[in-house]
Amino acid sequence: MQQLRKNGVDELVQSIKDRSRSENELIRASRHPFTLLVEDLEGY
């Protein structure tokens, strides 16, 4: 399983705003099952 790891919500938002970057990441990941995790610095 592949993971698209983001360092936080800000990085996730930036990659989503940059449409071509976001699309390229999803295209690369589409060949394999993947999980997108967003971690909270403060924990749960």
pLDDT in tens, 2-31: 555 666 677 777 777 777 877 887 788 788
**Of the candidates 43, 32, 40, the residue with the CA atom closest to the CA atom of residue 4:** 32
Predicted local confidence at residue 17, as pLDDT: 76
Predicted local confidence at residue 5, as pLDDT: 62
Return the ∠ at Cα 36 (arms to 25 and 33), rounded to 5°: 75
